[in-house]
Amino acid sequence: MRLIAVANHKGGVGKSTTVINVAAALASLGHRVLVVDTDAQGHTSLGLNIQTSNKQTLAELLCSEHVSVSDVVQRTAVKRLDIIPSDLSLAIAEVKLSTMPAKEYRLRTKFKGIEDFPYDFVIFDCAPTFGTITMNVFTVAHEIVLPIQLGYFSLEGVNTFIDTIQFVNKTIGSLVNHTIAINGVLITAYDTRTKLAREILVTVQDIFKDTLFKTAIPQNIKINEAQSHGKTIFEYDATCKGAVAYMSLAQEIIERDIHEQYKQDAKKSKEKAISR
C-alpha cells in the first residue's frame, strides 16, 4: 500500500484537482484507492459529489475515540474509489486537536492497521497550511506529490516547503521512526505562452531535475467544468487533454514507487542491525 500526500502550502495550485483525477485514473487502471480529504474547504469531497450532511467525516475520526476508519469511509460513483470526506467541521476539529496530547499523531493512531484494508493507494488532499492536521498527514504518508504553477510566488515558496518537510522528519517523524519525502514535483495549469513562464520552467527543470514529473497538467477548461458537475475528468470527457495528462501522471506515479525502495532500505537496515 502506498500512502501519498498531495501537498503545497500555497493555495490554488491544483491539489484537490490532482487528487480527484489521479485517484480516478489509478482506479480505472484496476487499483483500489482511498482518498482522504484533509482540507476543511472540502473541495475534494465536493469534486467527487460526496454529501457530508448527517455523515461522519474526518473530523469525527480525529476527535472521537469511538470512531474508526471504516465508520467514515464512503463509496464514490467511481468504481474502486472510496473517500474519507471533510467539510467545515474539520476547522473546529483542528482547534480541538490543539488541546489533545500527541496531537500530531492522531491520524497515525487511527490509521494503525490500515495495511489490512483492501487499498493499493491512499491519497491525502492536504490543506494549504502547515497546521496540526497537515502535520498529522506527514506522520502517516511516506511520499509527497508537490504541485506547482509556473509563477514567481509559487516557486519562491518551494524552499520553505522543503525546509518544513526536513523539520517534520527531524522532530516529529523521528519520534515514531517515520520519514516522508517528495516523490515528484508536478507542474499544473501548464502554459508557456509568456516569457516569464518559460523562464520559470527552465529554473524548475534545473532545480528539480529527475524529481520533476515528465507529465505536466495543461490548462484545460474541461477540468474545471468536470469539477463543477461533481465529476472526475474521466467521467466528464475522457478524451480531452486534461484526462490524457492525468492518466499519464497516474502511470508515472505507479512507476515511481519510492515506498518500495523505502521498505527495501528499512529491511537492509534491520538485517544489518541484527548481524551486529
Confidence of residue 262 (pLDDT cuts 50, 70, 90): low
Residue 155 has pLDDT above 90, yes or no: no
Residue 130: the pLDDT is: 87
The number of beta carbons lying within 10 Å of the beta carbon of residue 114 is: 15
User: How does pLDDT run across 173-214, given as a tens digit for each residue?
Assistant: 999 999 999 999 999 998 888 888 888 899 889 989 999 999
Residue corresponding to grid cell 482511498? 34
Specify the pLDDT at position 273. 44
Average pLDDT (256-276) is 57
Q: What is the pLDDT of residues 76-111, one digit of tens each?
A: 999 999 999 999 999 999 999 989 999 999 999 999
Using pLDDT thresholds of 50, 70 and 90, give the confidence band for residue 270. very low
CATH class as words, domain 2-275:
alpha beta
Domain ranges for the chain, please list them: 2-275
Residue 151: per-residue pLDDT:
79
Task: Using a pLDDT cut of 70, give the percent of the chain over it.
Answer: 93
Global pTM reads: 0.91
Cell of 92: 473546529
CB 47 within 8 A of CB 230: yes
Give the chain as a DSSP string. Answer: -EEEEE--SSSSSSHHHHHHHHHHHHHHTT--EEEEE--TT-HHHHHTT---TTS--HHHHHH-TT--HHHH-EE-SSTTEEEE---THHHHHHHHHTTSTTGGGHHHHHTTTGGGSS-SEEEEE--SS-SHHHHHHHTT-SEEEEEE-SSHHHHHTHHHHHHHHHHHHHHTGGGGT---EEEEEEE-SB---SHHHHHHHHHHHHHHGGGB-S--PBP-HHHHHHHHTT--HHHHHTTSHHHHHHHHHHHHHHH--HHHHHHHHHHHHHHHHHH-
Residue 128 in this model has a pLDDT that exceeds 50: yes
Taking residues 129-141, report their average pLDDT: 94
What's the pLDDT at 1? 95
CA dist 156 to 13, 134, 216, 228, Å?
A: 13, 20, 19, 30
